[in-house]
Amino acid sequence: MYVTSDGHRLPFGPADVQGLDEAREHVVEGSIRRNGRRTGGHLYTTVEAEMREGQIAFPKDWDADRIMAAARQVIDRPENVLFQGEHRIELSSTIGGVRLVVRLRLPKNGPAVVTVFPTRGVGVKRVHNGRLRDVG
């Protein structure tokens, strides 16, 4: 079972989280929303190729498999569990010097991964004013 920072016990835990494999393409290469806006794509080479303002990249030496393995670690043992409104939860942990967030949505059939992204750490970069800048 997950427990939020304020002590709230959630009715599900790591074994109930679905959709990590299905989220892989969005996390690594990106996807297009219904409104036509591109989102996701956090593999370093994807960010380097797209250079979307605000886009954030995992370290250059993290490949897709490493990103997804780190996401699984966050799901299995999050350091922080936060509600984001009524139907979303953020799990976060620091893995290999990189702070990761796994965002879940809470549909009726159980928690599912929406996205995975880094927020800071060694080698993490964000696009700002057309350049990749350290977020360390």
Contact between 70 and 79 under an 8 Å Cβ cutoff? The reply is: no
Is 54 part of a structural domain of the chain? yes
**β 88-95/80-83 pair status:** antiparallel
Question: Per-residue pLDDT for 61 more than 80?
Answer: yes
Within 8 A by CB and 6+ apart from 42, the residues are: 27, 28, 55, 56, 57, 58, 67, 116, 117, 118
- Over residues 85-104, the pLDDT tens digits come to 889 999 999 999 999 999 99
- Over residues 16-42, the pLDDT tens digits come to 999 999 999 999 999 988 898 889 999
Is 135 part of a structural domain of the chain? no
The domain total for the chain is 1
Is 5 part of a structural domain of the chain? no
Contact between 1 and 9 under an 8 Å Cβ cutoff? The reply is: yes
pLDDT band for 84, please (50, 70, 90 cuts): confident
Range of the domain at 35: 14-129
| Mean pLDDT of the chain, nearest integer | 94
Is 20 part of a structural domain of the chain? yes
